[in-house]
Structure 1
Amino acid sequence: MTATTTAGTTTGNALFQEARIGSMTLRNRLVQAPIFTQFATTWGEVSERLIEYHRARARGGVGLIITENTSIDWELGRTVGNPMRIDHDRFRAGLTDLVEAVHNEGAKIAVQLHHTGRQNSQGNTERNEPPIAPTAGITSAFGTPPRAIELDEIPGLVDLYAQGARRAVAAGFDAVELHGAHGYLLSQFLSPKTNKRDDGYGGSLQNRARFALEVVAAVRTQIGPDVPLLYRLSVEEPYEGGLSLEDGLLFCEMLDPHVDALDITGGNYDTAMTLLPMVPPGSLLSYAKAVKARVSVPVIGVGRLTWLLDDLEKAVVNGELDFVALGRSQLADPETPRKTELKEPQRVRRCIAVNECVSRWMFNGQRTQCVINPALSQEKRAADARRTVGRARHVLVVGAGPAGCETALLLAERGHSVELVERADRIGGQLHAWSAASVFRTEIGNMIAFYGHELERLGVDVRLGVDATGLDLTGYDDVLLATGTEYATRPDGTVDAVAMLADRTLPPADDLSVFGAGETAMFAALWLAEQGKRVTLCSPAGDVGIDTNDMQRGHLAGLLAQLGVTTRTDVQPPPTGTVVWAGERVASAVLADRVDGEHVQVVGTRLRGGRMYEATQSGFWTAARI
C-alpha cells in the first residue's frame, strides 16, 4: 500500500510540520524508535512505570512512539527479560491504558510485533526448549543452538503476527510495526547467513522473502487497509554471509506495495556495534537514504541523529528522508523534540552513546537506566521531585562535577537558594578528563556546556576557584559535599592520569606506561597514543576497563589496538620509566570532619562510589529530599 507524507500548514522547520504515514497524521516528523526498557511486569503486562515512561516522551513532543519489542510468542519468542506482550486478549486492558496515556499528550503510538527466533537462549523459554530458527544449529550472540522450524509450523508462526496485529487494533494503537530487523525471526528467514533451507522458504531472495511477505499479508488482512503498517528492516548485515545491501534494497522494493513506511536500520546482535553505534552520528543514515531512492513509501532513518537535526531538516526538504527516529537520545532527554522546536538546543541532554543503557542494564536483565538522566524509569517520582518547595532553603553545594551540578540544578528548579563552589576555575570536574580523548570529546564537552547553561538559566550562584575548607558553613541550611574521589595512593614520581587528561598536560617522555584497571586508564592510554606517544597499558586485573560495560570496553580496546597500544594484564606497575597513574580511587576527604549526615552530607561518587551514573543519580535524588 503506497503511503504519502504531506507537510502541514505550519511554517518553519520541516521536521516540525505535520506529516502522514498512510491514513495517520503526525504532528511532526520525529519518531521515538523502539527501545527495550524492561519496564513491563515480570509477566509482560503493561505497568504504571511503563505508562509514565511513555507519557513523558509523548509530552516531550515526539510525533510517533513505536513501542519496544512486543512479544507475540511468550513461550519461545520473547526477548530475554520482561518485554511487553500481546500474545493473548487478556493483555488488551493494559495496552489500552498505554495508548490512552500517549494520546492524551498529543502523540500517536505504534506497537512493534516481535519474535526472537534464534536470538534467544534456551533458559529464557517457558519449557526450557531450544529457540527456533529457519535452520538448525546456527547460533547467535546469545549462544543457544536453535532447532529448525518445520514446514507445517510456518502457518502458525504467521498467525502469531496476525493475531498480535488484531489485538493491537483492538487496543487502539494507531499503527503496527513488524520487527524485521536486528537478526530476529523475520530477518533470519531473509538472511542467507541464517537461512539454509531447501524448501520454498530458502535459497533465492524471493524464497527467503516469502515468510516475511506472508506475515505482511496476514497482518494486513487483520488490520484492514486503513491502519498503517510499518516494517523495520536491517537493510544490510555487515558480516560474511549476511544479507547484502543490494538484496536488502530489493526486498524493500518487494515490501513497497504492501506497507505504509519502512523503518531502516542495519546489523544484528552478532554485529552489535552496527545497530548500537558508538561511532560519530549518522552512521546508519546512508541506509535510509539508499532505501528512499528505491521506494515510494515514507522512510524512517535512525542512528544518533539528535546531533544532526539541522542537516536532517535539509534531507527532509530535499526528499532524501521522511522521518527521523530518536532512540537512546529519548532515554537521555524525552523533551528533545520540544526543546528543539523552541530553538533551545543548548537545553537538551544529549546522549553520550556509552551504551551503559544497553550493555550494563538491558543485557544483564535489569531495567534500563541512563548515565545522564536520573529520571529515567522513575518519571512520576521525578516529576513530584521537581515541584516547587513550600519554604526555600539556603543550600551550599561543594564540587561542580556531575553530582554537584545535578544537585544544584534540581535544588534551584525547586526554588531553593543555591550556591555552588568549585576549587577549579571551571565546572565539570572529571568530565574534563573523560573528554580529552577524541572518542567522546564532543559528547562530554556538550554535557559540560549543558550544565553551564542550565546553572545560569536557573540562577545558581556559581563561584569558581574557591577552596571550601576555608568556608564558614554555619550560614547555610544544608551543605552537600559532591567532591568525588581521590587516589587511594599514588606513588611519588608518577603522573596523575586524571589531572593529565583534564589539563591536557603531555608528559615529555616518548615511551609511557599507564597503570590502572579501569576506564580512566583506557582513556589515558588512548589520549596519549593520539598525541603520538608509545604507550603500554598495564592492568593489575585480568582485564582492562573493568568498571565499564562490555560494549564500551570492547570499543575502547579496539581503538587502543588501532593506535598500537600494548596491553598487559595481571601485572604490577613498571619499576622504571614514566608511569601515568590511574589506580584505585576512594572517597574524597574534603571537610570530612564536618560531615554529620544532617546539616552536612556527602553526595555523588563520594557517597556511592562508581562513575557518572552513580554521580548523577545520587545528586538528583539527594536534592529531591532537601
Structure 2
Amino acid sequence: MTITTPDPAGVRAPQDGPLFQPGRIGKMTLRNRFVQAPIFTQFASTFGEVDERLIEYHRARAHGGVGLIIIENTSIDWELGRTVGHPIRIDHDRFRAGLSDLVEAVHNEGAKIAVQLHHTGRQNSQGNTERNEPPIAPTAGITSAFGTPPRAIEEHEIPGLIDRYVQGARRAVAAGFDAVELHGAHGYLLGQFLSPFTNHRTDDWGGTLENRARFALEVVKAVRAEIGPDVPLLYRLSAEEPYEGGLSLDDGLAFCEMLDPLVDALDVSAGNYDTAATLLPMIAPGSLVGYAKAVKRRVSVPVIGVGRLTWLLDDMHKAVGDGELDFVALGRAQLADPETVAKTRRGEPDRVRRCLAVNECISRWMFNGKRTQCVINPALGQERRAAEARRPVAVRRRVLIVGAGPSGCEAALLAAARGHDVELVDRADRIGGQLRAWSAPGAFRAEIENLVAFYEGELDRSDVTLRLGTAGDSLDLDAWDSVLLATGTIPTHDGLDAVTMLTERRAPAADDVTVFGETETAMFAALWLAEQGKHTTLLSPKDAVGVDTNDMEREHLTGLLTEHGVTIGLGAAPPETGTVVWATPRVPSKVLSAAVDDDRAQTIGTRFRGGRLYEATQSGFWTAARI
C-alpha cells in the first residue's frame, strides 16, 4: 500500500477561499463550509443525559470555528436501538432541558448545531438492550460486528419505528436545534432496510431497490411533515457497502436521487462496522471524498464530504470552489484539535495538532465502552479543567525537563505558557524521543513526522530554552526548583534494539532478519525492514502481535506486513541463531533515579506510567499543570 499523506505545511487555505465563505443548507446560513462530523464520544451521562463534559466539549469546538456541529448518534429508542455505551438520548421529553443547554452553548460561540437521530438496528448486542432482548433488523439472523443475531421487525411495528424518528425530530426542534440529521449511514437501521445484504424481506419493505428504500423515505417524509419546510433536514448515508452482497454504488446513487427532492443536504460516507476500516480510514486522506463528489453529480442539494480532509484543505478549497461538493466535515481531526478551523484561517496550518488516524480514539476507547480519548490531545473531554490548567501561575519557578519526547514537550509547553522559566534538555540532536522511531516505516510516517514538527514549531514560538545534545545525568539539579524526568523507557535485552534501529534508520547488514517481540514496535520494525528489502520474519512470544495497540491498528499493520511479505509466527521462542532485532516490552529509564523524591524531582511520561503515546502526552500535560 502506497502512503501518500501530503505535507500539511503546504496547506494554505486562504481566508478568502471557498471554505471560509458562508454556505446555506435549506434556510440555514452557516458562517463557513466546515462541519464537525458526528463522532461518538460517550461524554453523555450513563443514562444518556447531556452533562457539563458534553457541553464543554462542543463549546470548545464551536469556539474553534466550525460552521455547523452535528452531534453524535442521539438515541430515539433507548430500549432496543441505542448504541453500546453512553449515547445521548432524545426518546423522552425530559431530555429537552439538557439538549437546550447544549444548543445554547454552541450558539453562544457563533456556530449552528444539528441533532443526529439514530437507531442501531442489528448493529447492537443483546446485552446492551434494556430487557436483554435481541436487537431488531429488517431480516432475522444476519449478525453484525456486534455479534448478536437480530430478530426480524414485524410489519405492524414499522409505523411505531417511524414515529420514534418523528418524535425525536419534534423534541430536537423544541430544544432549539438548527437542523435535524437522520443517520442512515454505517449500517444502522435506515441503511439496513436499504442494503440487500441485510434486507431479505418479501413484503413491501424489501426486494427491489424501491421497496428497500421505502422505510427510509417514509421516515424522511414523516419527519419533514413534523418539522415543516423551514427546519433543514439532512440525511447521512453510506453510498456503498464495499463487500459482497452489500449496497452497490449504483444503488446508493439512485437512492440519493430519491432523497434529492425531500431533504436539504446529503452527508456522504461509506461502509458499516463490518467494514470499519472503510468508514474510519487509516490509509491516506481522501478515501471517502470521491463518494461525495459522485453524489454531488447526481443531486441538486448541498453535499457534505468527509475522510481525513484536514490534510487536503487546498484540494477541498478547489473542490468547493468548482462545485464538486459544498461542505467539508472534520471528524477525528476535531478530537485532536478543536481549533483546526481557526488556526487554518489565521494562516497557521503548522500549529494544528493533526490527527494521526491510529484509531485509538475509536478502537481502544469507544469500542470498549469507555469515554473517547485522543493520543495527542490531553484536553479532550476535560476542556474546562484544561483551561484552568493554562492559567498563569502566581509564583514563577525554574523548571528543568529532561527528555524531549512527547511527554517532555507537552510539559515544557504548558509550564512555559503558565509563566515558569523552563529548560528542556535531551541527549539527542532532535526532539521527538521514540516518535522518531515510530515514524520510520511508511505506515504513519507523515503523520508522526508532522507531530514532531508541530512540537518543534511550538517550542520555537515559546519561551522554553531547548538544549539538545545534553545528557540529563551531567546536570546539577540544584539549579532548578522543579525537575521532571521524561526519559522514557529502555530495552531489557543486550542485542540490537528495535527502537534504536528505527531511530537511527540503520538496518543490519544481513539479508535475513528476525524481529522478536509482541509489541507495536515489533510490527513497525518488521515493516521498516521489509521496506528496506530485507527478508523479514516477525516472531511473537504471545498468541498475537501488537498486543499493546488497538485492534484496528493491529489489523491495519498486519495487512501491511502481509503485503510486504513478512512471515509472522506466534507463540515463538527467542531465536538462537541469525540476526535478531529485539522488540519486547521495555522498562522505565533509570536516569537520575537517585534524585527522584516525587516532590521537587519526579518522573513523567512512559517512564512513570508505562504505555505509549497517550500515556506520554497525558502525563506530561497534567503534571505540568500541577507545578
Same fold, judged at TM 0.5 (above): yes
Q: Aligned match of 2:493 in 490, 493, 498?
A: 490
Q: Residue by residue, what CA displacement relative to the aligned partner does 1:300-337 show, whole Å, maximum 9, x if unpaired?
A: 00000000001100110011010000000000000000
> Matches of 2:573 and 2:107 in 1, distance apart?
59
> Matches of 1:414 and 1:465 in 2, distance apart?
26
What residue number does 1:211 align with?
Answer: 215
SS of residue matched to 2:217: helix
What residue number does 1:582 align with?
Answer: 583
> Matches of 1:427 and 1:337 in 2, distance apart?
27
CA contact (8 A) 2:483 2:602 kept: yes
What residue number does 2:176 align with?
Answer: 172
Q: What residue identity is the alignment partner of 1:551?
A: M
SS of residue matched to 2:312: helix
What residue number does 2:551 align with?
Answer: 550
CA contact (8 A) 2:15 2:346 kept: no
> Matches of 1:171 and 1:333 in 2, distance apart?
28
Q: Aligned match of 2:233 in 229, 233, 245?
A: 229
What residue number does 1:238 align with?
Answer: 242
| 1:481 paired to 2:485 | yes
What residue number does 2:10 align with?
Answer: none
Q: What residue identity is the alignment partner of 2:378?
A: P
> Matches of 1:524 and 1:162 in 2, distance apart?
53
What residue number does 2:108 align with?
Answer: 104
Measured after TM superposition, the shift of residue 344 of structure 1 is 0.3
> Matches of 1:411 and 1:118 in 2, distance apart?
49
What residue number does 2:256 align with?
Answer: 252
What residue number does 1:386 align with?
Answer: 390
Q: Aligned match of 1:305 in 282, 305, 309?
A: 309
SS of residue matched to 1:183: coil
| 1:598 paired to 2:599 | yes
Q: What residue identity is the alignment partner of 2:401?
A: V
> Matches of 1:399 and 1:313 in 2, distance apart?
40
Q: Residue by residue, what CA displacement relative to the aligned partner does 1:183-231 show, whole Å, maximum 9, x if unpaired?
A: 0000000000000000001000000000000000010011100000000
What residue number does 1:563 align with?
Answer: 564
> Matches of 1:452 and 1:300 in 2, distance apart?
34
Q: What residue identity is the alignment partner of 1:77?
A: G
SS of residue matched to 2:72: strand
> Matches of 2:496 and 2:325 in 1, distance apart?
50
| 1:17 paired to 2:17 | no
What residue number does 1:530 align with?
Answer: 531
| 1:31 paired to 2:35 | yes
| 1:343 paired to 2:364 | no
Write out aligned runs for 1:176-575 (5 A): 176-487=180-491, 489-491=492-494, 494-575=495-576
> Matches of 1:253 and 1:412 in 2, distance apart?
55
Measured after TM superposition, the shift of residue 241 of structure 1 is 0.2
CA contact (8 A) 2:15 2:345 kept: no
SS of residue matched to 1:120: coil
> Matches of 2:397 and 2:411 in 1, distance apart?
14
Q: Residue by residue, what CA displacement relative to the aligned partner does 1:540-579 show, whole Å, maximum 9, x if unpaired?
A: 1111000000001111011101111111111121110000
SS of residue matched to 1:512: strand
> Matches of 1:434 and 1:144 in 2, distance apart?
37
Q: What residue identity is the alignment partner of 2:369?
A: G
Q: Residue by residue, what CA displacement relative to the aligned partner does 1:336-394 show, whole Å, maximum 9, x if unpaired?
A: 00000000001000000000000000000000000000000100000000111122111
The 1:466/1:325 distance shift into structure 2, 3 A limit, reads same
> Matches of 2:280 and 2:493 in 1, distance apart?
37
Measured after TM superposition, the shift of residue 495 of structure 1 is 1.5
* Aligned alpha-carbon RMSD (Å): 0.8
Measured after TM superposition, the shift of residue 11 of structure 1 is 6.7
> Matches of 1:192 and 1:480 in 2, distance apart?
58
> Matches of 1:574 and 1:484 in 2, distance apart?
27
> Matches of 2:474 and 2:590 in 1, distance apart?
14
**Number of residues of Structure 1 aligned to a counterpart in Structure 2:** 614
Unaligned runs of 5+ in 2: 1-13
Q: What residue identity is the alignment partner of 1:536?
A: T
What residue number does 2:146 align with?
Answer: 142
> Matches of 1:61 and 1:391 in 2, distance apart?
34
SS of residue matched to 1:179: strand
Measured after TM superposition, the shift of residue 584 of structure 1 is 2.0
What residue number does 1:58 align with?
Answer: 62
What residue number does 2:9 align with?
Answer: none
> Matches of 1:416 and 1:223 in 2, distance apart?
54
> Matches of 2:136 and 2:567 in 1, distance apart?
42
> Matches of 1:237 and 1:192 in 2, distance apart?
10
SS of residue matched to 1:580: strand
What residue number does 1:84 align with?
Answer: 88
What residue number does 1:5 align with?
Answer: none
Q: Residue by residue, what CA displacement relative to the aligned partner does 1:260-298 show, whole Å, maximum 9, x if unpaired?
A: 000000000000000000000000010000000000000
> Matches of 1:336 and 1:165 in 2, distance apart?
30
SS of residue matched to 1:517: coil
Q: Aligned match of 2:135 in 105, 120, 131?
A: 131
> Matches of 2:237 and 2:126 in 1, distance apart?
25
Detail structure 1 runs of 4+ shifted over 6 Å in the superposition: none
> Matches of 1:584 and 1:439 in 2, distance apart?
21
Q: What residue identity is the alignment partner of 1:546?
A: V
Q: What residue identity is the alignment partner of 2:172?
A: A
SS of residue matched to 1:421: strand
CA contact (8 A) 2:400 2:480 kept: yes
What residue number does 2:613 align with?
Answer: 612
Q: What residue identity is the alignment partner of 2:423?
A: E
> Matches of 1:388 and 1:457 in 2, distance apart?
17
The 1:536/1:209 distance shift into structure 2, 3 A limit, reads same
Identity %: 76
What residue number does 2:5 align with?
Answer: none
Q: What residue identity is the alignment partner of 1:595?
A: V
Measured after TM superposition, the shift of residue 459 of structure 1 is 1.9
Q: What residue identity is the alignment partner of 1:94?
A: G
> Matches of 2:60 and 2:392 in 1, distance apart?
19
> Matches of 1:21 and 1:470 in 2, distance apart?
62
> Matches of 1:283 and 1:23 in 2, distance apart?
31
> Matches of 2:417 and 2:17 in 1, distance apart?
30
Q: What residue identity is the alignment partner of 1:570?
A: G
Q: Residue by residue, what CA displacement relative to the aligned partner does 1:491-549 show, whole Å, maximum 9, x if unpaired?
A: 3xx32110110111011100000011000000000000011111110111111000000
> Matches of 1:566 and 1:532 in 2, distance apart?
14
> Matches of 2:321 and 2:623 in 1, distance apart?
46
TM-score by length of 1: 0.98
Q: What residue identity is the alignment partner of 2:493?
A: R
SS of residue matched to 2:89: coil
Q: What residue identity is the alignment partner of 2:472?
A: A
Q: Residue by residue, what CA displacement relative to the aligned partner does 1:49-85 show, whole Å, maximum 9, x if unpaired?
A: 0000000000001110000000000000000011000
SS of residue matched to 1:383: helix
